[in-house]
A and B are shown apart, each in its own frame.
Chain A
Amino acid sequence: MECTLRPYLPIAVYGALVLGTGFSLTLASSIFGPRVRRLEKESTYECGSLPLGSSRERFSVKFYLVAILFVLFDIETVFLVPWAVVYRSMGLFGLLEMLAFMGILLLGFVYAWKRGGFDWE
């Protein structure tokens, strides 16, 4: 029988093993461990002092900037993968194509650098 997914069967087996182990380990302590509930024990841990404020606070926009720059450069990397595989068969044209692509992105990189996009104050 023709089956496209046949080569990936071992990874399904492997994945099932990983998930099986993961689930049983996750449950292990709650099955075998004791359980004595105390209010103090279950309160938020802040080095022994009483918890201050809520943990659902908004935080710095810096993380957002890192994430968006990551997405953009990740896409660049993904574009480079098929190029890296075939560029030798295309000679100079292939190289110039990539230099143009990288050149344009380099503009963005330099702009981000100059405007302090990579600074973490």
Chain B
Amino acid sequence: MDAFVFYISGVLSVVAAALVVTRKNPVHGTIYLVLFFLLVSLDYLILRAPFLAIIQVLVYAGAILVLFLFVIMLLNLSEEELRESTSTTRKGFAGILSAGLFGLLSWGILRSPTVRNMGDLAAPVTSPTLAKAGETEAIGQALFTTHALAFEFSSILILVAILGAIYLTKKRKQTSSAPSQTSLTGLESQEEAGQKHAPADGARLEKRLA
């Protein structure tokens, strides 16, 4: 039964992934990507990892893809702009590159000792530890003891991402020659705010819609 579900979801996820890259309209691509993530989370369920299955949807479909969607809508290409086709050389280059990546990954996966020594996956799980290995408790135990350092480093990764995002989207406020005077800084920031509003009055009106 599991195998049956796996083959169906496998075929469907490949189809969904293919549709993601072939859609001309990126908003349509997003829908198929959501579908793809849902199907992949089904694979995690088959592998007895409910926590990962739900995180797959929560983080990828519920968060990262929302960011993608916002970027797509931020650019908001009109139908005319979407119709412009990319050159064949570029397409060919992308094709060769992805075929190469596919070959490399397949070779690596098939050669890996973990995959070779996996044995019969359909066999029933007898050990209670293994049956619970995909649950939240087991993941927590592993993450906060064995992999504690990696976990702490991930916070630095997130920190860097926050700094980057803010740096890119928020303009640095001009620092004055006398930064120590706090009473002046209050005034300055007000002046700056005034300047920020003044020059782009026309653009501002359009922006207000957003």
Contacts and interface: CB of A to CB of B under 8 A. Distances in A.
A and B touch in the complex (CB under 8 A): yes
Where chain A touches its partner, the secondary structure class is helix
B70 A63 contact: yes
A100 interface: yes
Interface residues of A, number: 52
B76 A64 contact: no
Given A65-B165, A69-B162, A58 B76 contact: yes
Contacts of B207: 59-60
Contacts, number: 148
Interface residues of B, number: 55
Given A60-B210, A97-B152, 7 more contacts: A5-B46, A56-B78, A64-B74, A72-B158, A85-B140, A86-B141, A117-B169
Interface of A: 1-6, 8, 54, 56-65, 67-72, 74-76, 78-79, 81-83, 85-87, 89-90, 94, 97, 100-101, 104-105, 107-109, 111-112, 115-117, 121
Interface of B: 1-2, 5, 45-48, 51, 55, 58-59, 62-64, 66-67, 70-71, 73-79, 122, 124, 136-137, 139-141, 143-145, 148, 151-152, 154-156, 158-159, 161-163, 165-166, 169-170, 196, 206-207, 209-210
